[in-house]
Structure formats: C-alpha cells, structure tokens
Chain A
Amino acid sequence: MILGIDVGGTHTDAVLVENYQVRKKAKVLTDNSNIMASLLAASQNISLQENLKNIKRIVLSTTISTNAIVQNKIDRVGMVLLSGPGLSPATLKSSTDSFYVSGYINHRGIEIKPVIEQEIKDTGEYFRNENIQKIGIVGKFSTRNPQQELSVAKILRNNNRQFSLGHRLSGHLNFPRRIATAYLNAAIDRIYNDFVREVGLFLREIGANIPVYILKADGGTILIDQSISYPVQTIHSGPAASIMGVLATTAIKEDAVALDIGGTTTDISVFADGAPLLEASGVTINGNKTLIRGLYTKSIGVGGDSIICIKNGEILVGPLRDGPAAAFGGTYPTLTDAIIVLGMAALGNPQKAIAAIQPLAAQLKTDIISLSQSILDKAIAVITSNVRKVLSAINNQPVYTIHELLEGKTIRPQSVYVVGGPAAAMAPSVARSLGYPYHIPEHSEVTNALGAALARTTAEVTVLADTEKEVLTISEEGIFRKIPHTFSSAQAIEAGKEALKQRVLRMGASIDDLEMEVTEVQEFNMIREFYTTGKNIRAKIQIKPGLISACNIG
C-alpha cells in the first residue's frame, strides 16, 4: 500500500492506494499553523493505524514552498554573483544584499578572471554584520566549471551559514534564471525545513518507520531527507500532483491535453505519447523565471468562481474572482451559477444562482437560460482558444538542426482529460470544440494525493565532455573531472547514465524505475585553423515523469 497526501492551502487530502486502486480517501481542512494536525486528521479519516504495517511508502505534495514565495514569507538572502561580461548587471533584478564580484568562467568552462579572496571576505563581513545566514553563490557558466562557486563557498564557510550553489540546482544555461533559482532555494530554506520537521513529528506520532517522499515540480518524487538542501524543487508541487493524478487515473498513452478547471483558474497541461510535457526552460513562480524543472502548465483566468460581467454588451468570464458562487452564498454571479441555472449540476442553492444571473439577463434583454448558455459557451471558447494557442506555441518551438526542423515531433492530441468541479458540465462542449473525445477521470476530488502516491522518482543530468580540454562536467552532480582525448559520445552517455543512476537511487528511486531517456546528444568537431583539435560533446539524460512500476505497488 501507498499513502498519498496532498497538503493544499485549503484542504488536505489523503488516499490509500493498493495495486493502482484507491482503497480509502479523505479530505480535511488544512490548519496552516499546524501542518502535523492536518496530516493526523487526514490519516485518521482513512484508518491509517489499521493499515500502517502494509504501507510501503508515503508521498506528500505540498504548497508550502509555493505559498512561502507567493506570500513573501521568505528569509533575507545574501547573493554573491560572478558575472563577467555580458548583459549589464543593472538589467538584472537584484537587492542590496546582492554583490557582483570579480571572477569569470567563459562558455568553454575556462577561468578567465580569478576570484579575489579579500573581496569575498569583505562580502562575508557584510553578511555577518547584517546577520544574513542564507547565501546564494552563482557564477556565469558555473555549470561548465563549478570551481569558482566552490571556492567562494569555501572562503565564506562557517557553522551558521547555508549555501545555495547555482551549478547544483540545474545543468541548464541561463544566468539570470540560475540567480533566481539559487535565491529562492536559499530564501525558503528555513520554512521548508520547519515543514520537514513537522512531517518527522507526524511520523513519530503515528509510530511509522516508512520512507517519506515529497513531490517535485516535475512530477517526480524525492526522499524527504534528500530534499532539504534543494527545497526549491518542491515549488509547484500542487499542479504537478494534479497532472500526475490524471496520469494515475487514466491510461494515457497518446498525445493528449488535460484541463484542471478549478475555482479561479483552468490549468492546461499537455501529454506527448502519454508523458506529461516539461517547461522548456523552467518554472516561473510569482514572476520569477527559474531553472527548476517543472511540468508544463498554462493557467488561464477562467474557473468555476470566475465573476461574470457585461462590458459593452459582451459577456466576460473572469479573470476576477471574489469568494464562492452565488449559489454557495457568494456576492457575484459566476460560471458555476450559470451551470446550475442550466441544470447541469445539482449543487448549492439554485434560487440564489438564478437571482444572481437574472439582472444580467435583464441588462442584455434575454432570458436566464439563454444567457447561462452564452456564459458557458464563452468560458468554453476562452478555454479552447487557449488550448489551441498552447499547442501552436509548443509545436512552433524553435529547433536548431535541419533534422528536427523537417522531421521534429508535432503534438496532435487524441483526447482531452478534464478534472475539477465544472468538469462534467463543460467537458462535452470543450471536446466538441477541440474535435477530440473527452474523459473525466475517477476520484477527481483526490487527484493530487493519488498523483503524488504513484509518481516515480525523476531527475536529469547534463553532460559536457570537452576532449580538447580533456574535461567532463556533470553539473547537477558536481562532477568535474579529467577525461582522455579519445573520450567518445558513447562514453559521455555512459558516464551520464551512471551519474543519473547514482542520483536517483540517492533520491529514493526503486531499482525497477530506472528507465532512462537520452533527450539530447550532440557531438561537435572542434576545428581550429582547419585542424580538428577535439570534440565538444553535449548530452542530457533524464528519467522522465511517470508512474512507479507494478513491482513497487504494495
């Protein structure tokens, strides 16, 4: 058995899963000041104690990191940035606690300018005076050579300081995103570790000695002990859990679209051959563009609680929301009210829904049924036009080889999966408009907890082998070592696979869930003055998001 728990901002959901089947499910209100109490309450409702001895693993998804960032409950972070030439630091976001210091690594990973020890010590002095203990260290091209980030950390090291080093958070290039990622990682370190402690107390309370995992933004799991140095990976755990939940309750093997129609927003996600797509560069949170690997979602401001208004004779659905639907005691007419008026959902108080829609109908000189239909049509039109936009953007992503441009994969959805409150009312029309059939997955009220329960451990490594310099770099694992001049692409991939294996096993992957995928491999002859001087080999290898294999189902 597996216990899946989704600690949301409003509700905490729990499911007990056995052999891919939901055995028990529960929903309780989240007490944000006492997470342990919420965990206990949800567990009691699924008779956890009776099943405890059968439980093989516990997986949590949580909005704790996301909320800390969105609500600005974060710590002060000192940033040491090694920028070198390029975009002017003035163009980058930074605070009074950010310091651009000497030192520069170029695109080949060659040190161009050294770190100056005294300058770093002076910066450390400022951090000490200001009592700043969370420190981010980020160098341009540090993923090509981590030495300067490491030496800055060494100079600043003392017992109270926590460091977030840019190169360990992602192997992808993008200095401004690397800065944002390291910053957020450091900023939520304390609040996340408080959460981890609460989970520890919960385990002690229930007397369990079971491995506990956390769901990451990319829909993969990581052992909670392993997550404490990299808390930023757990942002967007909620949307990721929802997408994994769709995967867990359906048997998607094809290209597909999933819609999660919530109260405030509808989240669009996309599957390619049954695998959820990842964000191309990384997750954006609260306006911060990061390098965090995350499942692709596009949020649009249409949901069940979206307020309906009339502007210049035109019906607008959302993006504003202010409390629940009128049928549930809210002040304004909403999409949910229109659905209730149409008799498509037996929810709340229909009289209140009618009363809320009535004035709008009078304004447009029409009846409430016609108006409600128009509201629903409008919401569907907004959603489907956004789905088309999303697909077109994905299918028009730039590519860099002739082969990919001419023969690259195009996403052609075969079905649309719809979850959330208004799913039943809206799915048929959405499907008709998109031109492919719909499915409404089961257990949609506990999708997130279920998705978390069944998600496997995921990770990615970025390999760079430069045989002219005779150096192999695998940034995420901190590997930076000598290789022979004859090193080949096959050897680079092998080294990458080994590093990835070590990485995911440490993160808690089962030996049966190590299905690796080489997502990118490029080999360039390095030519200097008409002679080949070496090879520049680049590879990315991942274990992509998916469900744990059958052998791990308790």
Chain B
Amino acid sequence: MKNKTRKTGLIFFPAFDWAISETHPEREERLLYTQDQVLEEGLLDLDNIREFKPGIATYEDINRAHICVPDAQSITTQSHLISAGGAITAAQKVLTKEVDNAFALVRPPGHHAMLVAHGARGFCNINIEAVMIEYIRKNFGIKKIAVVDTDCHHGDGTQDIYWNDPDVLCISMHQDGHTLYPDTGFINDFGGPNALGATINIPLPPKTSDEGFLHVLDHVILPILDDFRPEIIINSAGQDNHYSDPITDMCFSAHGYALLNEKLAPHIAVLEGGYSIEKALPYVNVGIILAMAGLDYSAVREPDYDPDKIRQSMDITRFIESESQEIILMWNDRYNMKAKIVGSAGYVRRSKSIYYDTDGIREKQMETVRVCNDCGGLVMIESAADTGKKIFAVILPGTCCPECRRNGEMFFERLSGGQYNHIYFQDREKDVFIVK
C-alpha cells in the first residue's frame, strides 16, 4: 500500500426521517444504500476508523456565519442544526487530535446558503461548512482556512459568505454555470476588493471525466493551496459529478473521487450533493472513507464502471488545460489586480439578485465594502425580499482593522429602524451579534 494509514473520524447522520418534500431528491432514502455499503464493508470495525454521534449546532453558531431573516430559528429545523452540528463534531475531533481527519456524512447539505438567508435555496437552508468554519475560528484560534468544493454545482453560498475574507480561500470546481444551476462561478469571480484571489472558480465543461478533474487538481488547486498555506483544508464533498448522477452531466467516477481525496488530503470532508443514491453514492463514499483512512481503495468500483464509455473528448482536455493556465496566471497576478479594479474608490458596491429556488423567494441585495489594505474590510448589506422583509446588516471581518471597526460601529449606531424590519451587527472578530 502506498499510504500510511490515518485515523479517520466518521460522523454519519443520514436523517432517515427527513425530506424536503415527498418526491424531492433530498429525501429520506438518500444515504440508505451508502449506509448499507459502509456497514456491509465493515468499515466501522477497522481500527483506524471511528464513528461519532453528531452534536447539535446552536443558533449562536449559525449567527456567526449568517444573517438569517428574520432569525436563525425561523429558517432552520432540527435537521439543519444536526447536520451543521455533525460538521462541527468533525472539526472538534480533528482539532483536538482525537483523529487525523474526519468525514461528516450528513444531510441536509449547505453550500448554496448565502450570507444573508431568507429561506432555502438549492436544497440548502444554512451553510454547514461556514457554520463549522466560524466555530473553528472562534474555538481553535485558526486563521487561514481553505475550502475546496468538489460538488458539481458552484458553491455559491460559501463563496458569498467569504467573498470579502482574504483568510478563507474558497475554490470551487463545478459544471459550467452556462449549463447548470446556479448559473454562476466563472473564472472572473475572483473575490471582493480586499480579498482578490481568495475566491477561485474552475468551471468545467459537461462530460468532464476523471482525467479533467485530476488535471485541475494537480495544476490549479494543489499549486494554489501550496501558495496560500492554509492551516486546515476542508472538502465540500459533493458527489453529483458522478457519471450516473440524474441531475448533472459530468463523468467523474468513484475511483476518481477517492484519488482526488487522497491527493487533496483534506482535514475535514463534509458531504454536499449527490443524487445517484444507488449507483454512485455507496461506492463514492466508501472510496472517500478508505482514501481518508489511507487504506487501499483500488477494489472500489461501480458495478457498471467502464472508463472507455465515460472518457472525456480531446476538446474537453484541451479546454481544461488552457483554462487551468489562465487561472494560474490570474492567481499569480492577484496582488496587482486591486489597483486596476478598485482605483481610488473608498467603497465598492455590487448589487445582486438572488432566487431561492427551494422556497420560491426573490431577494435584491446591495453590498457595500470598505476598501482597506489592513483587513478584509467592513461590509454592509441592504437586502429586500419579496416576502416583504427588508433588512440592513453591518459585518466586521474575522480580522478587523481599527478604522473598519470604527466605521462599522458608527454606521450601526446611526442606523435606525424606519424602513428596515431588522438591523444586524455581526462582529466576526469579537464574536458579537446584535439585532435591532
């Protein structure tokens, strides 16, 4: 065997009594066959694999990562608190060194949930990785974190939450947004004015197979991680890139997922999407668990696996090679970009329209960021949804300079009810959350 075995924690919470709706893909049955395969392989009996019961996240944990409208209680159910709690448990077990790495095989998923959350979008209510990351920062004093999102859909929620944070590197590889929900995640989406390069998007053409994913890993993701030097690496381990997934159009295999995980060597993996619940998930999950534990995964194969049938075209290979080069050039140029993009502005604004497909809500946002060379910058968001709710939020970054802090506190002080249902103050540095 190539690898030294590692101690791997498994937080398995299939929520067998929860579904979004009766025939929704995010359903009770989703992890049933994964559980069957994990049990039948006897993985939980292996000396270096330990299963842990998930904890339950608190509203306080959620309020560190989100501005929930009207509040965290209203947009979550017990299932969300447990899946976020499962991710937190994974982090605790790794950071207290009980295990070397951990996989939170939990549902419901979270990577489409954005900073301001009026409801559920893309099957997600709250961003379980972000809730976990803020928990890690508060409790373990860790600053630099990288999230590598290998779900087939753009990790737009995680990107949104860390858009202005230079200390959290969000890399998302996904099926091209021209061909798949949520229609975003292009290479020019590169982070906020004070955090350029901390958001990396790698859109891939439909039908990309193992070769393409691994090329991007070797030529884009791993080199960028080497430069960024995160203290921990998190994998948002969506499994809908699989060739049998019913709602996407990619050609990744269980073996490819395991190899990717082995090379990426994340400290924590958190399950995201993946809806080929019989043909893919049992094998992909067993492959990932074995790879994390440093065990031989060479015999993990889908029964119908045929590499020739799913191999990507030469065109795709060429496209991915050139896109990879382009992203690396942007990455190398990231420090020079600010002047070009920001110019002499003191504040930068962007407006966004967000659609909550799961809950059918439309939201309009205006985000204002203070241009700052000393921190991620003060962020202010005005958000109005067609539910009639309009809010304003003042957000101080995880590391906040005195000038941004003074400005933020002053704005919050001056703002008064009037046109807003609620005004929020989220101080990620001092862990303060106030609503008025």
Assess whether A402 is in contact with B18, with CB atoms less than 8 Å apart. yes
Task: Decide: A88 near B37, CB < 8 A? Known: A177-B42, A398-B53.
Answer: no
Chain A CB within 8 A of B214 CB: no
Instruction: Tell me, in angstroms, the Cα distance from A190 to B33 when the chains sit together.
Output: 38
Assess whether B296 is in contact with A86, with CB atoms less than 8 Å apart. no
Most interface-central of A85, A397, A402 (chain B CB within 10 A) = A85
Instruction: Tell me, in angstroms, the Cα distance from A529 to B51 when the chains sit together.
Output: 32
Q: Which of B41-64 contact A (CB under 8 A)?
A: 41-45, 51-54, 56
Beta-carbon contacts of A93-129 to B below 8 Å, as 1s and 0s?
Answer: 0000000000010111000110000000000000000
Assess whether A107 is in contact with B40, with CB atoms less than 8 Å apart. yes
Instruction: Tell me, in angstroms, the Cα distance from A48 to B398 when the chains sit together.
Output: 82
Our pick among B16, B23, B37 for the contact of A400 (Cβ within 8 Å) is B16
A529 to chain B, nearest CB (A): 6
Chain B CB within 8 A of A176 CB: yes
Chain A CB within 8 A of B22 CB: yes
Beta-carbon contacts of A159-180 to B below 8 Å, as 1s and 0s?
Answer: 0000000000000111111000
Q: Which of A195-203, A259-267, A518-526 contacts B (4 or more CB under 8 A)?
A: A518-526
Task: Decide: A107 near B282, CB < 8 A? Known: A141-B40, A401-B17, A402-B79.
Answer: yes
B88 to chain A, nearest CB (A): 14
A114 to chain B, nearest CB (A): 13
Residues of A within 8 A of B43 (CB): 87
Task: Decide: A396 near B296, CB < 8 A? Known: A87-B42, A176-B45.
Answer: no
Beta-carbon contacts of B280-320 to A below 8 Å, as 1s and 0s?
Answer: 00110010001000011111111100000000000000000
A399 to chain B, nearest CB (A): 7
Task: Decide: A402 near B36, CB < 8 A? Known: A85-B283, A85-B299.
Answer: no
Assess whether B16 is in contact with A91, with CB atoms less than 8 Å apart. no
CB closest chain-A residue, reference B43: A87
B29 to chain A, nearest CB (A): 4
Our pick among B25, B33, B39, B54 for the contact of A108 (Cβ within 8 Å) is B33
Residues of A within 8 A of B39 (CB): 172-174
Instruction: Tell me, in angstroms, the Cα distance from A255 to B43 when the chains sit together.
Output: 31
Chain A CB within 8 A of B360 CB: no
A63 to chain B, nearest CB (A): 25
Assess whether B299 is in contact with A86, with CB atoms less than 8 Å apart. yes
Q: Which of A242-250, A320-328, A530-538 contacts B (4 or more CB under 8 A)?
A: A530-538
Chain B CB within 8 A of A545 CB: no
Assess whether A107 is in contact with B36, with CB atoms less than 8 Å apart. yes
Instruction: Tell me, in angstroms, the Cα distance from A532 to B299 when the chains sit together.
Output: 32
Assess whether B299 is in contact with A89, with CB atoms less than 8 Å apart. yes
Assess whether A174 is in contact with B14, with CB atoms less than 8 Å apart. no
Instruction: Tell me, in angstroms, the Cα distance from A552 to B347 when the chains sit together.
Output: 87
Assess whether B42 is in contact with A398, with CB atoms less than 8 Å apart. no
Assess whether B53 is in contact with A405, with CB atoms less than 8 Å apart. yes
Most interface-central of A90, A174, A402, A524 (chain B CB within 10 A) = A402
Assess whether B53 is in contact with A400, with CB atoms less than 8 Å apart. no
Task: Decide: A402 near B25, CB < 8 A? Known: A85-B283, A87-B43.
Answer: no
Task: Decide: A85 near B32, CB < 8 A? Known: A174-B42, A175-B40.
Answer: no
Residues of B within 8 A of A112 (CB): 303
Assess whether B301 is in contact with A85, with CB atoms less than 8 Å apart. yes
Assess whether B37 is in contact with A86, with CB atoms less than 8 Å apart. yes
Chain B CB within 8 A of A511 CB: no
Chain A CB within 8 A of B223 CB: no
A401 to chain B, nearest CB (A): 4
Assess whether A525 is in contact with B42, with CB atoms less than 8 Å apart. no
Chain B CB within 8 A of A293 CB: no
Chain A CB within 8 A of B213 CB: no
Residues of B within 8 A of A86 (CB): 37, 40-41, 286, 299-300
Most interface-central of B43, B52, B53, B286 (chain A CB within 10 A) = B53
Assess whether B45 is in contact with A174, with CB atoms less than 8 Å apart. yes
B245 to chain A, nearest CB (A): 12
Chain B CB within 8 A of A84 CB: yes
Residues of B within 8 A of A174 (CB): 39-40, 42, 45
- Number of contacting residues on A, CB 8 A? 45
CB closest chain-B residue, reference A108: B278
Assess whether A532 is in contact with B28, with CB atoms less than 8 Å apart. no
Assess whether A88 is in contact with B42, with CB atoms less than 8 Å apart. no
Instruction: Tell me, in angstroms, the Cα distance from A91 to B294 when the chains sit together.
Output: 12
CB closest chain-B residue, reference A528: B246
Instruction: Tell me, in angstroms, the Cα distance from A58 to B35 when the chains sit together.
Output: 43
Beta-carbon contacts of B197-221 to A below 8 Å, as 1s and 0s?
Answer: 0000000000000000000000000
Assess whether A402 is in contact with B17, with CB atoms less than 8 Å apart. yes
Chain B CB within 8 A of A281 CB: yes
Instruction: Tell me, in angstroms, the Cα distance from A107 to B34 when the chains sit together.
Output: 9
Instruction: Tell me, in angstroms, the Cα distance from A141 to B42 when the chains sit together.
Output: 12
Q: Which of A448-494 contact B (CB under 8 A)?
A: none
Assess whether A398 is in contact with B12, with CB atoms less than 8 Å apart. yes
Task: Decide: A536 near B42, CB < 8 A? Known: A85-B302, A85-B303, A87-B299.
Answer: no
Our pick among B18, B23, B278 for the contact of A532 (Cβ within 8 Å) is B23
Chain B CB within 8 A of A311 CB: no
Chain B CB within 8 A of A378 CB: no
Residues of A within 8 A of B53 (CB): 396-399, 405
Assess whether A524 is in contact with B32, with CB atoms less than 8 Å apart. yes
CB closest chain-A residue, reference B15: A402
Q: Which of A394-452 contact B (CB under 8 A)?
A: 396-403, 405-406
CB closest chain-B residue, reference A532: B23
Assess whether B27 is in contact with A281, with CB atoms less than 8 Å apart. no
CB closest chain-A residue, reference B278: A108
A115 to chain B, nearest CB (A): 15
Chain B CB within 8 A of A346 CB: no
A122 to chain B, nearest CB (A): 22
CB closest chain-B residue, reference A176: B42
Assess whether A403 is in contact with B17, with CB atoms less than 8 Å apart. yes
Instruction: Tell me, in angstroms, the Cα distance from A524 to B29 when the chains sit together.
Output: 6
CB closest chain-A residue, reference B290: A87
Task: Decide: A90 near B27, CB < 8 A? Known: A85-B301, A177-B45.
Answer: no
Assess whether A289 is in contact with B246, with CB atoms less than 8 Å apart. no
A537 to chain B, nearest CB (A): 12
Our pick among B12, B278, B303 for the contact of A84 (Cβ within 8 Å) is B303
B272 to chain A, nearest CB (A): 19
Chain B CB within 8 A of A140 CB: yes
Assess whether B78 is in contact with A400, with CB atoms less than 8 Å apart. no
Chain A CB within 8 A of B424 CB: no
Instruction: Tell me, in angstroms, the Cα distance from A173 to B301 when the chains sit together.
Output: 19
A504 to chain B, nearest CB (A): 26
Residues of B within 8 A of A396 (CB): 53
Instruction: Tell me, in angstroms, the Cα distance from A401 to B28 when the chains sit together.
Output: 10
Task: Decide: A87 near B29, CB < 8 A? Known: A525-B22, A532-B23.
Answer: no
Chain B CB within 8 A of A251 CB: no
Task: Decide: A401 near B25, CB < 8 A? Known: A85-B301, A87-B42.
Answer: no
Chain A CB within 8 A of B82 CB: yes
Instruction: Tell me, in angstroms, the Cα distance from A108 to B35 when the chains sit together.
Output: 12
Chain B CB within 8 A of A527 CB: yes
Chain A CB within 8 A of B13 CB: yes
Instruction: Tell me, in angstroms, the Cα distance from A85 to B37 when the chains sit together.
Output: 10
Assess whether B82 is in contact with A405, with CB atoms less than 8 Å apart. yes
Assess whether B42 is in contact with A107, with CB atoms less than 8 Å apart. no
Q: Ordered nearest first, which 9 A-B pairs have the shortest CB separation? A: A176-B42, A173-B39, A107-B36, A88-B296, A173-B40, A524-B29, A401-B17, A112-B303, A85-B301
Give me the interface of A with B, judged by CB distance under 8 Å: 83-91, 104, 106-108, 112-113, 140-141, 172-177, 281, 289, 396-403, 405-406, 522, 524-527, 529-532, 536
Instruction: Identify 13 new A-B residue pairs, CB closer than 8 A, beyond the known A107-B40, A527-B27.
Output: A85-B300, A85-B303, A86-B41, A88-B295, A88-B296, A175-B40, A281-B44, A281-B45, A400-B13, A405-B54, A405-B56, A524-B28, A525-B22
Give me the interface of B with A, judged by CB distance under 8 Å: 12-18, 22-25, 27-29, 32-33, 35-37, 39-45, 51-54, 56, 78-79, 82, 246, 278, 282-283, 286, 290, 295-303
Supply 11 A–B pairs (Cβ within 8 Å), ascending by A.
A86-B286, A87-B299, A106-B303, A107-B36, A173-B40, A402-B15, A405-B56, A524-B16, A525-B29, A527-B27, A527-B29
